[in-house]
Amino acid sequence: MATTLPAFTPVENSLFLTLCCRALDNRSAHPVLGDETADEIVRALDYDYERLNTNTDLVLNVALRAKKIDEVASNFIARHPDAVGLDLGAGFDTRPARIKPPSTVDWFDVDLPEVAAAREAVVPDRAKAHTIGADVTEQDWLDALPTDRPVVITADGLMGFLAQDELVSLLDRLIAHFPRGELIFNGYTRFTIWVARHAPGTRSVADQVRFPGMDDPREPERWNPRLKLVEEMLISRQPEIAQFPRVLRTYYRLQSHSTWWSRKGTLILHYRF
Ligand SMILES: C[S@@+](CC[C@H](N)C(=O)[O-])C[C@H]1O[C@@H](n2cnc3c(N)ncnc32)[C@H](O)[C@@H]1O
C-alpha cells in the first residue's frame, strides 16, 4: 500500500523533482547514478512523476550532479573516517545509501520539519544516519552536531531557496561550528536563477526562488575568508557526458569549449575551510 504523505508547501514539494529524476535515471538503459533506493521510494509512494514534466536532459543533469556531489563526499570520508556528513535540504535523497559511509561516520540529513518527519517514514534507515527537522536559516539546529570533527557538507537543490544574506550567514555559522571541512553544492548563476524563475518545469517554485545567482565561483571566498574554492565543476566537461544520448552529447561537447556557455548549465561548486 502506498505511504500517505502530509500536504507539503511548494518549496517542500520540490524534493519530488530531484527524487523522481534520480529514480528515472535508474530506470534508463544506462543509468548515470543508478540510485535503486530512489527508484524504490518513488514506486512505494506511487508518486505520479508524469506531472513533473521532466525530460531526459533534466534527469541526466540531476543524476550527474548527485554523482559528482557523492564523489566529493566519499573522497572526503575516505580521508577522514571520523568525519561528520551533513546534507542540507536533504529532502528524500538517499545519499547515505549511495555512498555507504563507514560506521565511524555520523551522517545528518537536515530538512524542514514536515519533510524530516516524512523522511523518517519513507527513506530506509541506516545506522549512524540521523534526520534533523529544522529550517537551516535558523540558529539552534547546529547545536545537535559535534564541534570537534571534520565535516563534509552537501546541498543539492537548496541554495536557490535561500536569500543571499541567509546563505552567507549559514556558511558563517557552519564554518564557525566545525574545525575544518568541505562544502559542495550545485551553484546557480544569475542566468540559471532566471531560468528557474521562468522555466515550465520549475513553475511551482518560481515564486520561492530567492537567491539572486552568483556568476563568480570565487564570490564565497569574499563572504568568509576561511572559504577556499577547490573546484568549479561544469557538467559539460564531465566524462559521463560520453554516456548521454547523441544529441545531448553533441550539445554538451560543444558547450564544454566555453566556460561562459557552460556556466549557463549545471555547475557544482566545491570549497574547503
Ligand atoms: C529541490 S529539493 C532537493 C532535495 C534533495 N536535496 C534532493 O536532492 O533530492 C530542495 C529541498 O530543500 C528543502 N529546503 C528548502 N528551504 C529549506 C530551509 N530553509 N531549511 C531546510 N530545508 C529547506 C526543501 O524542503 C526541499 O526538500
Model confidence pLDDT, tens digit, residues 183-239 = 999 999 999 999 989 988 777 788 899 999 999 999 999 999 999 999 999 999 999
Indicate if ligand 1 lies below 6 Å from the C-beta of 189: no
CA atoms of 178 and 205, how far apart (whole Å): 32
The residue whose CA has the least distance to atom 16 of ligand 1 is 161
Pocket test for ligand 1, best of 110, 112, 174 (most atoms within 8 A of CB): 112
Model confidence pLDDT, tens digit, residues 139-155 = 999 999 999 999 999 99
- Cell numbers representing residue 265 in the block: 548549465
* Amino acid at the residue 214: M
Model confidence pLDDT, tens digit, residues 45-79 = 988 888 888 899 999 999 999 999 999 999 999 99
Q: String of b and e for 14-34 (b: at least 16 CB within 10 Å)?
A: bbbbbbbbbbbbbebeebbbe
Region 89-97 average pLDDT: 97
In the predicted structure, residue 248 carries a pLDDT above the cut 90: yes
- What predicted TM-score, i.e. pTM, was given to this entire model? 0.96
Indicate if ligand 1 lies below 6 Å from the C-beta of 90: yes
Q: Determine whether 200 is exposed, middle or buried from the number of CB atoms within 10 Å of its CB (0-12, 13-18, 19+).
A: exposed
Give the 3-state secondary structure of residue 80: coil
Indicate if ligand 1 lies below 6 Å from the C-beta of 19: yes
